[in-house]
């Protein structure tokens, strides 16, 4: 890389406002934790009551990726509104 490119990257790095990134992380990480626990609880209660749909769909897990909807995640980042992936019931 040339000196000009390095200087440009250094200017970008020095001018970047990390408070925005921190703000996003402080909103997204707790939201993912809460959403995961909430959806897992729905699946466990349904399973305990005899509905194995969540288990068959692989939703009885603490992996947040199993519960997320990509469009819902984008909405959370942009509009502070969230929705999870729908799951059909066998009842």
Q: List residues with catalytic annotation.
A: 39
The set of residues, in sequence order, having a beta carbon less than 8 Å from that of 6 and lying 6+ positions away, is none
- Name every residue whose Cβ is closer than 8 Å to that of residue 24 and which is 6 or more positions away in sequence: 77
């Amino acid at each position: 890389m040339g000196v000009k490119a390095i200087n440009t990257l250094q200017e970008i790095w020095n001018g970047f406002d990390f408070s925005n990134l921190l703000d996003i992380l402080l909103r997204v990480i707790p939201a993912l934790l809460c959403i995961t626990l909430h959806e897992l609880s729905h699946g466990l209660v349904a399973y305990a009551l005899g509905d194995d749909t969540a288990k068959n769909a692989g939703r009885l897990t603490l992996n947040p990726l199993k519960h997320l909807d990509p469009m819902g995640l984008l909405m959370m980042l942009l509009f502070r509104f969230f929705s999870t992936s729908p799951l059909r019931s066998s009842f």
